[in-house]
Amino acid sequence: MVRWSGAWDHRLVEHAEPFLIATVLDTTDARGLAEFYRRLLGFDYAPGDEPPPPGKPDTRASVWLVLNDSGGSPRLAFQAVPELERSTWPDPRIPQQLHLDLGVRSLDDLGRQTERAVTLGAVVLEDRRHDPDESLVVLADPQGHPFCLIVVGSPSASEGHSGSQREM
């Protein structure tokens, strides 16, 4: 049940290359994980994916949920699966397979957003906020998917996150 029609900028369809619609995370708790990222990133549920009224079954969350950005474009989707082994990163036994890099503007913001993510249910995996090359904190969301909060906006921060040298 993928519902992407009308959800993207139709100008992209004019190009021959594929285009990214959204990032999809497998999860054993689609509503819980969607709610975590909705609150962390300030996204909204796609129409029809909002939580049901109290006492009603949450049938959408048993399959698929989508979060849109403020412009209405899908950004994250959550696919329900019966089982999912939690990543053991940085131990390579169960790799992360995918992670999100989320930007913040300053070290103060990094501290505030790290605390906020933890309050929402994340766990700190690695704290590199005082790394001279790239200030970041690696966290795991409530289902164990690693994600990074990274200071961006300064020349040293953006140079350090070229993607070619950083390992997460």
> Is 137 buried (19+), middle (13-18) or exposed (0-12) by CB count in 10 A?
buried
Asked if 79 and 30 touch (Cβ cutoff 8 Å), the reply is yes
Q: Does one domain contain both 15 and 76?
A: yes
Query: In sequence order, what are the beta bridge partners of 163?
Result: none
SS (H, E, C) the chain: CCCCCCCCCHHHHHCCCCCCCCEEEEECCHHHHHHHHHHHHCCEECCCCCCCCCCCCCCHHHCEEEEECCCCCEEEEEEECCCCCCCCCCCCCCCCCCCEEEEECCHHHHHHHHHHHHHHCCEEEEEECCCCCCCEEEEECCCCCEEEEEECCCHHHHHHCCCCCCCC
Asked if 95 and 103 touch (Cβ cutoff 8 Å), the reply is no
Q: Does one domain contain both 74 and 109?
A: no
Instruction: List the CATH number of the domain containing 61.
Output: 3.30.720
Residues spanned by the domain of 129? 100-160
97 band by pLDDT with thresholds 50, 70 and 90: confident
Q: Does one domain contain both 74 and 122?
A: no
Tens digit of each residue's pLDDT (9 = 90 or more) over 68-77: 999 998 899 9
Instruction: List the CATH number of the domain containing 139.
Output: 3.10.180.10
Tens digit of each residue's pLDDT (9 = 90 or more) over 109-166: 999 999 999 999 999 999 999 998 889 999 999 999 999 999 986 444 434 443 333 4
Last residue of a domain, one of 50, 80, 110: 80
Query: In sequence order, what are the beta bridge partners of 143?
Result: none
> What is the reported pTM?
0.73
Number of domains in the chain: 2
Last residue of a domain, one of 22, 47, 80: 80
